Amino acid sequence: MIDFHTHILPGIDDGSRDIRMTEQMLEKEAAMGVTHVYATPHFYAHRANVNRFLERRQRSYAQVQELLERRSDLPKVTVGAEVYYFEGMGKAEQTPQLCVEGTDVLLVEMPFEQWKEGVYRDIRELILRRDLRVVLAHVERYIGLQKNQDVWDRVMELPLTIQMNGESFLHFGLTRRFCMKQIREWGGKVLIGSDCHNLTDRAPNVAQALAYIHSKTDGEMIKKIEETEKKLLCPPM
């Protein structure tokens, strides 16, 4: 089992505070059967430049590597980023450097507002011209903001992968209903990530989410999710 979206690197964003918290979060991941965690700290183009971000990420990751040398019982960790959408990201030269290490997979956090034409153009450019494999982070968090769904519909028709947060499956309500409906419709293009930030209110929870999905779809959707993970994340898995 993998956790594709986490803020588990220490001291780099609003996720894990320090290496001790990272260790406890990884213990929690391991206890629920996660074998591979993707560390995806926030990247905001208006706040940091790419080089400085990569340097900071490397310093933080070095602490995790040291930890993993001592603790072979913890999941493997691969670094990436959760890249907040910025205008022109489709053409920006350095965008590919923010992919999950060793892959062409880019996790994009979309704007928390009505999506406009430029958003579609940038995402399309990343996929069709730059040959990146785009994963949209927690899509269930944007749908309510799309009063006009034209751009949403066109984005979703692109060959991309959709990530949903574990949390969205854990409580009765509209969000869970939306996710279950979309998971059936989008089938082989959905991934689950915990988007964990800590050990309390935003803790690792992929296993609980998958258990819920399993209970509602006879395991059929779990197989599709696993296939999507394999296709997307080879070779680092």
Binding site for Fe ion (CB under 5 A): 82, 195
Task: Choose among 28, 73, 11, 67: nearest CA to 199.
Answer: 28
In whole angstroms, how close is the CB of 31 to Fe ion at the nearest point?
A: 22
Which residue is closest to Fe ion by CB?
195
- Residue 140 or 195: the one with the smaller Cβ distance to Fe ion is 195
In whole angstroms, how close is the CB of 223 to Fe ion at the nearest point?
A: 26
In whole angstroms, how close is the CB of 40 to Fe ion at the nearest point?
A: 6
Residues 6+ apart with CB under 8 A from 192: 4, 163, 164, 165, 166, 169, 206, 209, 210, 213, 225
Q: What angle, rounded to 10 degrees, do the helices at 206-217 and 174-186 form? A: 70
- Residue 41 or 90: the one with the smaller Cβ distance to Fe ion is 41
Asked if residue 183 lies in contact with residue 221, where contact means CB atoms within 8 angstroms, the answer is: yes
In whole angstroms, how close is the CB of 73 to Fe ion at the nearest point?
A: 26
- Residue 108 or 150: the one with the smaller Cβ distance to Fe ion is 108
- Residue 47 or 223: the one with the smaller Cβ distance to Fe ion is 47
Do the strands 42-43 and 82-84 form a parallel or antiparallel pair, or are they unpaired? parallel
